[in-house]
Chains A and B, each alone.
Chain A
């Protein structure tokens, strides 16, 4: 199935990916070809087949309810690209007046 340029832009937005015009063009062509190959699955009769999310049938894996110490603050922050100790710095989320 060929997907449209608008589809590609919409999916890039959902994925929070900035793509250049050139990337959007290439993505449209390549995704269309890949989707065409993938769509061969339509011919498979799965009317009486359940989905498999994981091959091992584990259910409700819980750890023991035992409190453990947190990772020290400085360790947690060690890789933050922007920090304002003792906090992570985050770009503006809400504009003023909104």
Chain B
């Protein structure tokens, strides 16, 4: 047993305690709910919560455990949270409110009060695995942002220092896992929205290969880039959650029908025999020196463990940002056309149809979402389509081909996750380009559709730094193996914000 408070332990540790009857699902749930309650105003992590429903589910899990069940439900009794971009069923079959159903907002005013008539594939997968849904976490509106400041429901604050951001767009999920409010949380990653907030909050964040996890019931941002994945406190926990989540789903036409390996079995702790590349272009200009030195030290740890480390080159890396900021907004402008104020969501109530569209969307979307709709619409508009959209898709081919060529020679890549540690709330809000640069090291991975994981590799200026491990398509097993071996050797798995041990009281107001 670690000496961490119950709410701050890993899934692996509390699952063992559950099986050994040393704790209960109810105790785990109450521990999370107490933290959520304690820090509700301070962190602003949850947008919807049903404590009673969570306690009932916990009691059912405890009854199942008492009957000796659960060997086929790997997350039985484990409390978790979903980013509020995954729909959760909240409408009964007669059109009324489903008891215990949670609304879905995607962080947007335009979906305020929206109650989904169906469950996302993620909610179903975790229900099958026995996990207990606590609530829905705050996020940047429609997952567009790198700081969680674009939520219509207020920014999330980083448990490490509440004057700083928790990263984004899955900032509520990263802060919830870092702050002892959930044993794991699901996020989405279109350009770095799982890995970057994981890096900024000292958690593990895994973006699986495009096609590995069903996107059914995930509010769409950029359909060729979006992917769902977990935030956890250890790499082993990430392997466990991915195992419950991954697999083919006929309801998502981009989901790929390929077997799901036993990810935990890949965690051998051994990296001898692996050849791992360090792409020099990922150490971008403007990177903080404390981040660079932590990442270089992590690479040395893996070399000492016996991995063969080689420098490699991905020359088109610096084209990633421009490519992404054409493709993602173009896809977003098409996906967000569905918010018309007629079928669901809020309506401005104008008397004439076209005016109602424009007023509803003008008042329902926030600044960043409008900016991206405008950028995407421009890139797709007559006269600019070839110069912007087709050009970006061609550069996408170059970026993907470079990754494929390098990954034919090495088993995985090591890089920084974010060029900086958590920054102050408000510091980059007036400069969209400075904000976009946060994802310079993560978005090329989405462009190529590859899996990537961020694992804590120490602190710089008292704030967490993340090491990114990137792998071949559908080879999550190897990046989990590398990240786990590093985590075991480096000893940052019990890194927690100072408030975790502060005896129930926030360190500052």
Contacts and interface: CB of A to CB of B under 8 A. Distances in A.
**Chain B contact residues: helix, strand, loop or mixed:** helix
A61 B150 CA distance: 35
Nearest to A56: B211
A94 to B, nearest CB: 9
B406 interface: no
A54 B254 contact: yes
Given A34-B325, A46-B398, A17 B319 contact: no
Given A44-B319, A58-B254, A79 B361 contact: no
A2 interface: no
A49 B343 CA distance: 41
Nearest to A44: B395
User: How large, as a class, is the contact surface on chain B?
Assistant: 35 or more
A81 B109 CA distance: 13
Interface in B318-344: 319, 321-323, 325-326, 333, 337, 340-344
Interface string B207-237: 0001100000000000010000000000000
Nearest to B357: A16
A75 interface: yes
Interface stretch (B39-47, B90-98, B260-268): B90-98
A37 B250 contact: no
A54 B449 CA distance: 8
Interface string B407-437: 0000000000000000000000000110000
A79 B103 CA distance: 11
B398 A56 contact: no
Interface in B357-405: 357-359, 361-363, 365, 370-371, 373-375, 377-378, 381, 388, 390-398, 400
Interface string A35-74: 1011111101010011111111010010100000001111
A15 B362 CA distance: 10
Contact of A78 (B95, B321, B373, B448): B95
A61 B350 contact: no
Nearest to A62: B253
Contact of A74 (B94, B377, B391): B94
B143 to A, nearest CB: 18
A31 to B, nearest CB: 6
Interface in B298-354: 316, 319, 321-323, 325-326, 333, 337, 340-347, 349-354
Contacts of A17: 358, 361-362, 365, 370, 373-374
Interface residues of A, number: 57
Nearest to B93: A72
A49 B323 contact: no
Nearest to B370: A17
B256 A58 contact: yes
Given A44-B319, A49-B394, A31 B375 contact: yes
Contact of A31 (B357, B363, B371): B371
Given A18-B361, A56-B210, A41 B392 contact: yes
Interface of B: 91-96, 114-115, 117-118, 210-211, 224, 250, 253-254, 256, 316, 319, 321-323, 325-326, 333, 337, 340-347, 349-359, 361-363, 365, 370-371, 373-375, 377-378, 381, 388, 390-398, 400, 432-433, 448-449, 473
11 contacts: A10-B381, A34-B433, A37-B322, A44-B319, A49-B395, A51-B396, A52-B394, A71-B117, A75-B92, A78-B96, A88-B342
Given A52-B396, A74-B95, 14 more contacts: A8-B374, A12-B374, A15-B361, A16-B337, A18-B362, A38-B326, A44-B398, A46-B394, A46-B397, A55-B473, A75-B93, A79-B345, A91-B355, A92-B353
